[in-house]
Structure 1
Amino acid sequence: MAITIDLSGRVALVTGSATGLGASLALKLAQAGAHVILNYSRSAKEAEATADECRALGAQVQVVQADVGEDADCRKLADAASGLGRLDVLVNNAGITKQVPNHADLEGLSKDDFLRLYGVNVVGPFMIVRACEKLLRASHESTGVSASVLNVSSIAGVTGIGSSVAYAASKGAFNTMTLSLARALAPAIRVNAICPGFIGTRWFKDYMGDEKYSDFEDTVRNATPLRLASSPDDIADAGFFFLTDSAAHITGETLMVDAGTHLGFAPLTAR
């Protein structure tokens, strides 16, 4: 039996949705009929391109420039939803990192690096949830269905691997905050998180070039138990589930979507 997801009439806000995973989640929400509020910090051109794709799917779209690390900007995003009279879905996707892949290089990170990453990756999502809380609760009161918050975290927050110690630590804090908010905001608001591993975004391709990226993707694929290198759409498929009524009985969940990376390398002979 085919399952059709219909989010017509609902309003969704996706932070950091100009490109990559945020854009993929926004497009899935648009395809399901939701009104989508897109957010960007600096990528105005890319945000407008994503907005056009959402409109081509028949969705109503707003684009709002805001830095989720600033409380005033978080409240500006909430005001955009307030102007529509409701907010049913919030995706905390915006995030930043500092590249210090050698975790033994303790001098590679400063106090300011930690504060900047925590400011966007942890404090930012807290502030946007706080700014949107009344709207999300109102959604539950009017529909009887819990509003949904999806936090886009990382396996770095579970395994301690990743682009830097500061990034992994911030995502670990984000995962813990997911649990705290799920308890505090129930039953009106469900709060869940996904923890992606590698995501083949434009950033990698621009940074490495096509040939090096292709080799890197092969390395990633061969290092995962499922022998897969995930795209933004692959990760968005899992995240989108939490935003639908199919997940109505799920809150406080932290789901790793990493092709099995957290399990460690699985030799081909084991298959």
Structure 2
Amino acid sequence: MSQKKSERPVRHLLGLSGGKDSSALAIYMRDKVPEMEYFFADTGAELPETLEFIDLLEDYLGKEIVKLNADRDFDFYLKLHNNFLPSPQRRWCTINLKLIPFEDYVGEDEVVSYIAIRADEPSRVGYTPTKSNIQTRFPFREDGLGKDDILCILESSGIGIPKYYNWRSRSGCYFCFFQRQEEWLGLKKNHEALFELARQYEKYDEATGKRYTWNQSGSLDEIVARAEKKANQPQKSNSTKSKKLIDNITHDNDDDFCPICML
């Protein structure tokens, strides 16, 4: 009589974006779920600070953070989309570089995916699985943890927050189309070479007269020109404003970031 094949155990997965919430969740769950698997979908357009932070987190967790998209990056999919940039209405970057690689990584295994949506984000939905073998859990919501708790987890662990939060409010690609204008200016100040690369992606279609820009308010050149014009005008001092952009954002808006990229 042949021995019955044993069933594979349920996998526990936690995806990292390089942002504060998913990083705090990894720290929070490290000892609660020892068998947790960690992964990071590298788009090939990550900030240096993000990659540095992922390495730091990997050392803290004592486990490998599996890197997805080893062979295909943003430029590969940009060519497939006729060099038309992604936008809030056409988020092909999220689909091809985040969602599909994750579901391929899962395969047909039974999986519990841990999502870093906080208790103070009541309207946020986040990732909705398209496969029946993927279940989701929201530990921060379950345990009533909000933004202050998340920052406390990061600080008390000794990890802290990624350095890009000094001038940026989110993780994601250096050219993310959800960036505010001040974040684009922060990119120019902190990573001028990356800003120039993002600028070169923008284009003008002579056949249709349509412009393809990262920001709906105008091209990166126009954003810089407006900022320079404003800088030459008298400004009211605001001594109470924090130098860190993250401290000046009172809540996260579900309409201005991708549900996967910005955890």
What is the TM-score normalised by the length of structure 1? 0.34
**Which has the higher Rg, Structure 1 or Structure 2?**
2
What is the TM-score normalised by the length of structure 2? 0.35
Structure of higher RCO (CA pairs closer than 8 Å, 6+ residues apart) = 2
